[in-house]
Amino acid sequence: MMNRRYPEPSATETDTDIAIVGGGLSGTLTACLLGRAGYRVTLIDRHRVFPQEFRVEQIGREEIEKLEQLQLLTPLFKVAAPFDDIVNLHRGRILDRTHGQHYGFFYNRLMGAMRAALPETVNFVVGQVTGLRTSAKQQRISILGKDELTARLLVLATGMGDMLHRDLGISHKSIGERRSLAFGFNIRPLQSNRFRHTALSYHGDGNGIDRLDLFPVADATRANLFLFRDPRDSWVRSLHDNPKQALIATFPSLVDHFGDFEIASRIDSWLTEITLAENCRQDGVVLIGDAYLTSSPATGLGVSRLLTDVERLCRTYVPQWMTETAIDHTRIAAYYDDPEKADMDIGSVQMADRHFNLTAKTDVGWRLRRQFHFTRRRILYGIESISPALAAKLHQLKTIRTRSALRSAVLNSKPVA
């Protein structure tokens, strides 16, 4: 057992310091960090073992760096497959290549490894939370078939679409028109025992289809397909009826570039709406991860966003709150208004807008932007083959320009072009 490192306030006696409801990625990482810091933490989830549900299945450099800073990388290594070269295709031709560390995994296996790494200061309770009563000094958590639990702070990490928040008058507001569909399935090579590339991303062509990502996970090749289309649309139906044919028809020369394949698993699908929690600045309770704001899967920002939540909460706010006898809504509000968190939150919504517009908008303005986007990438790739140093400089310049465009869009709260 670690020593408690924070001053002991003369607080109301509670069963635990911090109760975390939801043992997905955000809740488990939070429990890990707070447990390591010596707090008495209770993590509650309705599943002992995380079920085979479709969520994030690959992460890149930014998320890896954040996990490393939080010393949370080791569990990932146990279940994930590394890859560092992605061939990007558009209209049947190579667009460019992405170099950089990535990991592919199944979410449920990652959750298993993360939960196995929880320190002994964390008490893991399997149960469905059915009721919440909160105040500045004490939180009461009702768990089906178990005794009520009391805590000084309640962290809600219940993911998207949970009804529990209603007990506290918290609702979820849908932001804009960006409902996106994601599909996940395994593929296996035909006529050979391996594919031509380790990973490939095939970009759509303004037809509402954002991207097909093919990448290794521990013992398979995984496909993630992201689109902005109605689930009742005829193309979506054709994907369900004859997935291989639908993919070959939509992504020309896919087989030439990657190799012939067959679908080797069931096809998971998920319709995501971007929702933001409202009325959450309340005494004694804080929302993190998807419970606060969902992300469009195509942007790949869900994990980066939740890691920012976890880092800001555990490193800055919980240590301050735990020195107080009461955690009222003004203290809680400081977390939601944290500049780094707010930048990340607004930036992820702006990025979802951009993905939607670039993928699905058909007016002349967006057609031209799409054309410009892919032409610029092709030219940069051409330059890279002649002068890698010059291409690296241009890439750097582009990253700085994108970041500052995003930053000014965040500050002015208007869409990023």
Rounded Cα gap, residues 65 and 51, in angstroms: 27
Structure tokens at 231: 């689930």
Rounded Cα gap, residues 126 and 116, in angstroms: 14
Nearest approach in angstroms of CB 91 to ligand FAD is: 23
Q: Based on the shown chain and the rule CB under 6 A, indicate whether residue 56 belongs to the binding site for ligand FAD.
A: yes
Nearest approach in angstroms of CB 287 to ligand FAD is: 9
Q: Based on the shown chain and the rule CB under 6 A, indicate whether residue 104 belongs to the binding site for ligand FAD.
A: no
CA angle, 59 then 64 then 65, to 5°: 145
Q: Based on the shown chain and the rule CB under 6 A, indicate whether residue 287 belongs to the binding site for ligand FAD.
A: no
3-state helix, strand, coil in the chain (%, to 5): 40, 25, 35
> 3-state DSSP call for residue 87?
strand
Specify the residue, 198 or 295, whose C-beta has the smaller distance to ligand FAD: 295
Nearest approach in angstroms of CB 273 to ligand FAD is: 11
The amino acid at 219:
D
Nearest approach in angstroms of CB 60 to ligand FAD is: 9
Nearest approach in angstroms of CB 160 to ligand FAD is: 6
Instruction: List binders of ligand FAD among 251-270 (CB under 6 A).
Output: 270
Specify the residue, 4 or 109, whose C-beta has the smaller distance to ligand FAD: 109
Specify the residue, 142 or 316, whose C-beta has the smaller distance to ligand FAD: 142
Nearest approach in angstroms of CB 173 to ligand FAD is: 17
Nearest approach in angstroms of CB 289 to ligand FAD is: 2
Rounded Cα gap, residues 279 and 135, in angstroms: 15
Q: Based on the shown chain and the rule CB under 6 A, indicate whether residue 347 belongs to the binding site for ligand FAD.
A: no
Which residue's Cβ has the minimum distance to ligand FAD?
24
Q: Which of 302, 327, 366, 374 binds ligand FAD (CB under 6 A)?
A: 302
What are residue 82's DSSP bridge partners? Answer: 103
Q: Based on the shown chain and the rule CB under 6 A, indicate whether residue 157 belongs to the binding site for ligand FAD.
A: yes
Specify the residue, 67 or 187, whose C-beta has the smaller distance to ligand FAD: 67
Q: Which of 14, 16, 88, 158 binds ligand FAD (CB under 6 A)?
A: 158
Q: What are the backbone angles phi and psi of residue 21, rounded to the nearest 5°?
A: -100, 120
Q: Based on the shown chain and the rule CB under 6 A, indicate whether residue 45 belongs to the binding site for ligand FAD.
A: yes
User: Segment near ligand FAD (CB under 6 A), from 54-62, 80-88, 189-197, 409-417?
Assistant: 54-62
Give CA 169 to chain center in angstroms.
Answer: 25
Specify the residue, 55 or 331, whose C-beta has the smaller distance to ligand FAD: 55
Q: Which of 36, 55, 115, 203 binds ligand FAD (CB under 6 A)?
A: 55
Specify the residue, 112 or 159, whose C-beta has the smaller distance to ligand FAD: 159
Q: Return the residue matching tokens 């469905």.
A: 128
Best CA proximity match to 307, nearest among 321, 290, 284, 282: 290
Burial label for 119, CB within 10 Å (0-12, 13-18, 19+), is middle
Q: Based on the shown chain and the rule CB under 6 A, indicate whether residue 187 belongs to the binding site for ligand FAD.
A: no
Best CA proximity match to 169, nearest among 287, 268, 326: 287
- Dihedral angle, C-alpha 325, 326, 331, 335, nearest 10 °: 80
Q: Which of 32, 41, 306, 318 binds ligand FAD (CB under 6 A)?
A: 306
Rounded Cα gap, residues 23 and 49, in angstroms: 10
Specify the residue, 110 or 391, whose C-beta has the smaller distance to ligand FAD: 110
Q: Based on the shown chain and the rule CB under 6 A, indicate whether residue 216 belongs to the binding site for ligand FAD.
A: no
Specify the residue, 126 or 246, whose C-beta has the smaller distance to ligand FAD: 126
- Long-range pairs for 250-255: beta carbons < 8 A, 24 or more residues apart: 250/204, 250/207, 250/209, 251/89, 251/202, 251/212, 252/91, 252/92, 253/89, 253/92, 253/93, 254/89, 254/202, 254/212
**DSSP string computed for 56-86:** --EE-HHHHHHHHHTT--HHHHHH-EEEEEE
The amino acid at 330:
T
Task: Tell me, residue by residue from 105 to 144, as one string, x for binding to ligand FAD by CB under 6 A and - for no binding.
Answer: -----------------------xx---------------
Q: Which of 6, 38, 47, 124 binds ligand FAD (CB under 6 A)?
A: 47
* Footprint of ligand FAD (CB under 6 A): 21-27, 44-47, 50, 54-56, 58, 128-129, 157-159, 162, 164, 182, 270, 272, 289-291, 295, 297, 300-303, 306
